[in-house]
């Protein structure tokens, strides 16, 4: 069967066969028939369950092992070439109160010596784990491309896996099949990708629906960026993932290749580029230029095109923004379309602009919170079918359900662990008790990190050019996290360097997308890339600064926060479709920049804060008293930066102090420009009247 493969791929597969010792080999050709066969096999084994085909045609439900439900950050390793360090400060030396850990580890500890393994020792350790790991199983060979196969952006890979579930997800999330093999035959390089659930079967042993290693310490997601000395023909890069079947750990094309490996490539390639954890949104503005005197109809000018990218940690509304629904009051002049919801590969074009493409072909979205109210376009994408749901609840008539899909859960539902749940479990004569029980009931239906995998092509607002491989010139970059206190709705950085600092010090409250994260705990997440940076963190920041030097027409950088709450716990911002107002403000700023060369501030629209330029209510059409025409009601507190504020969660001195402590972790890896930029930030807060606690000084905040 492998004789038809390109010779250099066959060399890899021959090695994989020798090491993994599978019973069978299957080359996935990327056809719809092969995908259907894979799904049928998963159904017959009990790994997938068909759901209601009337509601979701050709769609299935998977239930993972309860220990394998999220990315395993603590078991993710970035093994760099000799002489390179992912970080200098050991994870154990970071104060636990700071709310920061390195997103990946540089190596495993050798049990015999107590020392960190070298890169080649780590590789040898992985080969030892893979020895005979597929005994009793089928080895699937998955040729894949990140980005359209014929695009100049395309990066090709060959993934081996003993998980048919992974094959099905790769079919949706990447371009798979014979087209990739043809490009490799023509001379295009590829990245060898190893994956195994790590559960060989003995003769006669019955398999389980979701095989995986049950102990976290037995899972490894390992990235290499130097050649294997024993197999140099495979190139500089490879990935070896062992022990987990969960998407972020096992769908290697996604986070492993498209971010960790790609970010290293982007820095090291002769022509510099970027691989970022960003959505891509295309915005079209058709401005009204007047009203026809005779017909009284509005007249419109030519279309103006804008592209927004935005980076958020997982489960912070990134997909909702990527599939943004323009509020009704703006639809006569504004239209948005989705290019991608998670990853952007960014290159500098001949005009000096940063241009982005989406390297994926599917959405791997967080289900909880997704509904027709919050993201109708995502729901329409799912209703088109051809989707996989993982760890959601299912009703007795085959509908799927999760927290937030509707106001009330179904009367009877089978939860993500396969247990029947009924509304009688939370009904109570005491209304307060019933409310508490109902909340707990809902939380058990679907896992908080339950997912859907669905094709981009089905999205009702997918951009017509999304799959061409051509880059979209970026007009604005948004960075945001989940902050219930302190951070304003929106800030535009005055300079690229100021924007890089704000993105590098991004903080967010923890979500369920990571297995070891405390829900609600505040953590630093630089550029929303903390778990995905594939080389030294300080050098990654320097690369951002370098790109700013190389791209004369670089976009403006914004920080946003949809999640700020009042003292009584109520959200200050409606969010969802109303987030378009910030997108519109960024586009209009870009328009002024195109016409004037710079953004000339309009006094009634903005105010200057220590963090940067903040919009005033007028700029976003916010009215604090009466909503009329295109205005909405909002608390003006959502826009404020008050250096004099104090109190738990609202103390700018404390915030700056924690940012300093965090930046100090990078030691001399931190670029001097960011040191200077942070010290300037402190100066601006002092000038604005920063409240300094007794016994403290503002100067002590400086790096």
Which residues are known catalytic residues? Answer: 316
Among 100, 246, 265, 112, smallest CA distance to 189 is for 265
Helix, strand or coil, per DSSP, at residue 686: helix
Tokens for 313? 């940690």
Closest CA to 267 of 511, 488, 542, 650: 542
| CB contact at 8 A, 431 and 344 | no
* Residue 651 tokens, joined: 């103390």
Distance CA 125, CA 405 (A): 44
Burial 384-393 (b: 16+ CB within 10 A, else e): bbbbbbbbbb
C-alpha distances in angstroms, 539 versus 56, 79, 260, 431, 513?
45, 16, 14, 56, 26
Residue 465 in 3-state DSSP? coil
Would you say the C-alpha torsion 111, 116, 118, 120 has a positive or negative sign?
Answer: positive
Q: Where are the beta strands (DSSP E) in 177-252?
A: 190-196, 220-224, 238-242
Cα–Cα distance for residue pair 392/618, rounded to 1 Å: 42
Distances (CA, A) of 647 to 293, 470, 567, 571: 58, 49, 11, 19
Q: Closest Cα partner for 549 from 500, 621, 602, 613?
A: 500
Closest CA to 416 of 442, 451, 390: 390
| In contact, 703 and 657? CB cutoff 8 Å | no
CA-nearest of 400, 385, 520, 384 to 450 is: 400
- Find out whether 342 and 360 touch, Cβ atoms under 8 Å: yes
What are the C-alpha distances in Å from 662 to residues 320, 451, 504, 656?
30, 32, 10, 10
At 631, list the tokens: 């205005």
Q: Say how many C-beta atoms besides its own lie within 10 A of residue 187's C-beta.
A: 8
- Give the whole-angstrom CA distance, residue 250 versus residue 222: 11
CB 487 within 8 A of CB 559: yes
DSSP string for residues in 410-430: -SEEE-TTS-EEEGGGT--SS
Helix axes 178-185, 7-20, angle to 10 degrees: 120
- The separation between CA 73 and the C-alpha centre of its own chain, rounded to angstroms, equals 14
d(CA 314, CA 93): 26
């Amino acid at each position: 069967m492998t004789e038809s493969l390109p010779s250099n791929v066959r060399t890899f597969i021959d090695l994989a066969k020798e090491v993994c010792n599978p019973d069978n080999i299957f080359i996935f050709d990327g056809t719809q028939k092969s995908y259907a066969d894979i799904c049928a096999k998963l159904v017959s084994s009990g790994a997938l369950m068909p759901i209601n085909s009337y509601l979701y045609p050709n769609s299935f439900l998977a239930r993972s092992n309860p220990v394998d439900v999220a990315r395993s950050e603590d078991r993710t390793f970035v093994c760099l070439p000799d002489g390179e360090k992912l970080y200098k400060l050991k994870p154990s030396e970071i104060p636990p109160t700071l709310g920061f850990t390195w997103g990946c580890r540089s190596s495993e500890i050798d049990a015999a010596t107590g020392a960190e393994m070298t890169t080649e020792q780590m590789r040898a350790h992985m080969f030892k784990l893979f020895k005979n790991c597929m005994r009793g199983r089928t080895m699937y060979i998955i040729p894949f491309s990140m980005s359209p196969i014929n695009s100049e952006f395309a990066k090709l890979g060959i993934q081996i896996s003993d998980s048919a579930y992974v094959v099905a997800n790769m079919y949706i999330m990447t371009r798979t099949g014979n087209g990739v093999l043809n490009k490799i035959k023509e001379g295009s390089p590829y990245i060898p990708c190893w994956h195994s659930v790590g559960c060989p079967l003995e003769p006669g042993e019955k398999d389980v629906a979701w095989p995986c290693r049950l102990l976290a310490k037995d899972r490894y997601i390992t990235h290499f960026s130097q050649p294997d000395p024993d197999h140099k023909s495979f190139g500089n890069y490879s990935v070896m993932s062992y022990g987990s079947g969960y998407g972020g750990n096992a769908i290697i094309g996604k986070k492993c290749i498209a971010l960790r490996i790609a970010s290293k490539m982007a820095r090291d390639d002769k022509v510099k580029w970027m691989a970022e954890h960003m959505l891509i949104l295309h915005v079209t503005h058709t401005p009204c230029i007047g009203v026809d005197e005779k017909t009284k109809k509005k007249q419109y000018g030519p279309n103006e095109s804008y592209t927004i990218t935005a980076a958020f940690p997982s489960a912070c509304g990134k997909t909702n923004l990527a599939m943004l629904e323009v509020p009704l009051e703006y639809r006569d002049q504004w239209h948005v379309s989705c290019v991608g919801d998670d990853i952007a590969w960014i290159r500098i074009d001949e005009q000096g602009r940063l241009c982005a493409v989406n390297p994926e072909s599917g959405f791997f979205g967080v289900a909880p919170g997704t509904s027709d109210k919050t993201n109708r376009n995502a729901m329409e994408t799912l209703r088109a079918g051809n989707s996989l749901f993982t760890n959601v609840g299912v009703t007795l008539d085959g509908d799927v359900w999760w927290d937030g899909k509707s106001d009330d859960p179904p009367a009877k539902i089978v939860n993500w662990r396969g247990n029947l749940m009924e509304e009688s479990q939370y009904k109570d004569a005491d209304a307060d008790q019933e409310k508490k029980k109902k909340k707990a009931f809902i939380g058990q239906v679907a896992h908080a990190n339950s997912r859907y995998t669905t094709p981009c092509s089905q999205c009702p607002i997918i951009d017509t050019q999304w799959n061409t491989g051509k880059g979209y010139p970026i007009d604005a970059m948004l960075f945001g996290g989940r902050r219930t206190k302190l951070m304003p709705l929106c800030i535009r950085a005055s300079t690229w360097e100021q924007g890089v600092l704000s993105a590098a010090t991004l903080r967010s409250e923890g979500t369920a997308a990571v297995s070891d994260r405390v829900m609600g705990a505040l953590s630093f997440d630089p550029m929303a890339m903390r778990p995905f940076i594939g080389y030294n963190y300080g050098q990654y920041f320097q690369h951002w600064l370098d790109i700013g030097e190389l791209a004369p027409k670089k976009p403006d950088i914004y920080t946003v926060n949809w999640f700020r709450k009042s003292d009584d716990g109520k959200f200050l911002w409606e969010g969802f479709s109303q987030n378009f107002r910030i997108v519109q403000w960024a586009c209009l700023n870009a328009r002024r920049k195109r016409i004037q060369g710079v953004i000339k501030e309009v006094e009634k629209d903005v105010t200057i804060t220590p963090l940067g330029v903040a919009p005033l209510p007028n700029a976003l059409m916010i009215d604090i008293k009466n909503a009329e025409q295109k205005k909405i009601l909002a608390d003006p507190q959502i826009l404020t930066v008050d250096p004099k504020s104090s109190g738990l969660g609202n103390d700018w001195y404390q915030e700056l102090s924690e940012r300093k402590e965090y930046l100090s972790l990078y030691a001399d890896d931190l670029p001097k420009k960011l040191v200077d930029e942070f010290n300037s930030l402190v100066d601006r807060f002092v000038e604005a009247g920063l409240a300094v606690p007794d016994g403290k000084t503002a100067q002590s905040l400086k790096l």
